[in-house]
Amino acid sequence: MAVATVTEQPGSKHNVQAARQAYYDKISKFNMTPLWEVLKDLVTPEPKSKLVPTVWKFSDVKRLMLEAGDVISAEEAERRVLVLENPGQPGKSRITNSLFAGVQLIMPGEIADVHRHVSSAIRFVLEGEGAYTAVEGEKTMMKHGDFIITANWAPHDHGNPGKQPVMWLDVLDMPTVNHFETSFGEHYDEKMQKTNHADGDSFDRYASGVLPDGAPAHLNRSPVINYPYAKMRPILQRLKDTGDVDKRHGARVRYANPINGGPVLPTMGAYLSLLPKGFKGEPYRSTDGTIFAVAEGQGATIVDGKPIEWSVNDVFVVPPWKRYSHNVTSGDAVLFSISDRPAQEALGIWREGN
Ligand SMILES: [Fe+2]
């Protein structure tokens, strides 16, 4: 090979570069490129993320979201959502490399038509009451702090027969699905799906210590549609009261699939954590870039030495392998968090550290 005969002689550096470039140009015509020019960026000693720790203050989100209510109807928009886009990946409609996040608004009297898609979705309800999400035949009313899942290919629609605007955090695995180029989606002829399961049916049916006889022994997503905040919050209090408070994560529960104890979805896993008054968390980092939403309280999370201050309904993101610690500044705080950890664990690539 011509390149192997090139030697480093004094004054020949230019010639070496020119010979290499000529070689690269030649091989590019055969759809090849030299690994040695890019190897150090492909195999890094530790994760290198372009993502930026970022907070979206709810006061801004709400004001701007309500303006969207003036300029486009839910029907015209199909889904009236403002994307929470990571400034380190502009134009990519993603908050981390694997996850999409947005805030959705539904005004009184509106509906968002039934559709389904390969991407799985979760909703974490921020503000307002009186709206519902209908998933797989269950119509569940949405309240602050509720965690609602819409699994891969599950038909879903939203509506607001109430009197208040309702806003929630949407997180979807769209970037993951699109990474694999496996996106399918479809609309239905009807605007709303027929629902014959009462609100709370799937929770009572599957998450009460029993399972319907004949329930599948294996299911890689939870059959529970809504994990209501009203049922989760007292569990956090129990953990706190008995001193079961992790020094990094606080009194934390993992939303579980009652069939197998695994994550609620194969691509996304979520937690709810109570950080007691005065909590000063020890540092933690993990390879799953994590989205946090504040259900209660006020505090600051130090990410890479810089504080992100937060209060109720703010959303913030910590990129992969950035060291962070939570601090509570007023009362007890409750943080919801979600990431692609189950996907990384399934692939055997997830790591954590301090
Ligand atoms: Fe959807």
Q: Tens of pLDDT along 237-270? A: 999 999 999 999 999 999 999 999 999 999 999 9
pLDDT in tens, 1-22: 444 455 556 557 889 999 999 9
The CA 183 to ligand 1 mean position distance, Å, reads: 12
Q: What tens digit of pLDDT does each residue of 133-187 get? A: 999 999 999 999 999 999 999 999 999 999 999 999 999 999 999 999 999 999 9
pLDDT for residue 24 is more than 70: yes
Pair of tokens at residue 337? 């968090």
pLDDT at 1: 45
Q: Please list, residue by residue across 239-266, b when 16 or more beta carbons sit within 10 angstroms of its beta carbon and e when fewer do.
A: bbeeeebeebbbbbbebbbbbeebbbbb
- Tell me which of 190 and 59 has the higher pLDDT: 59
Yes or no: say if 204 and 212 are a contact pair by the CB < 8 Å rule.
Answer: no
Gap from CA of 55 to ligand 1 centroid (Å)? 24
pLDDT of residue 2: 46
Q: 121: CA distance to ligand 1 center in Å?
A: 7
- pLDDT for residue 191: 87
pLDDT digits (tens, 9 = 90+) for 280-339: 999 999 999 999 999 999 999 999 999 999 999 999 999 999 999 999 999 999 999 999
Q: Taking a C-beta distance cutoff of 8 angstroms, is the pair 33, 23 a contact?
A: no
CA–centroid distance, 139 to ligand 1, in Å, is: 15
Task: Measure 200 CA to ligand 1 centroid, in angstroms.
Answer: 20
pLDDT above 50: residue 354: yes
Q: 130 and 180 in contact (C-beta within 8 Å)?
A: no
DSSP state of 284: B
- Say what the pTM is: 0.94
The pLDDT confidence band at residue 202, using thresholds 50, 70 and 90, is very high
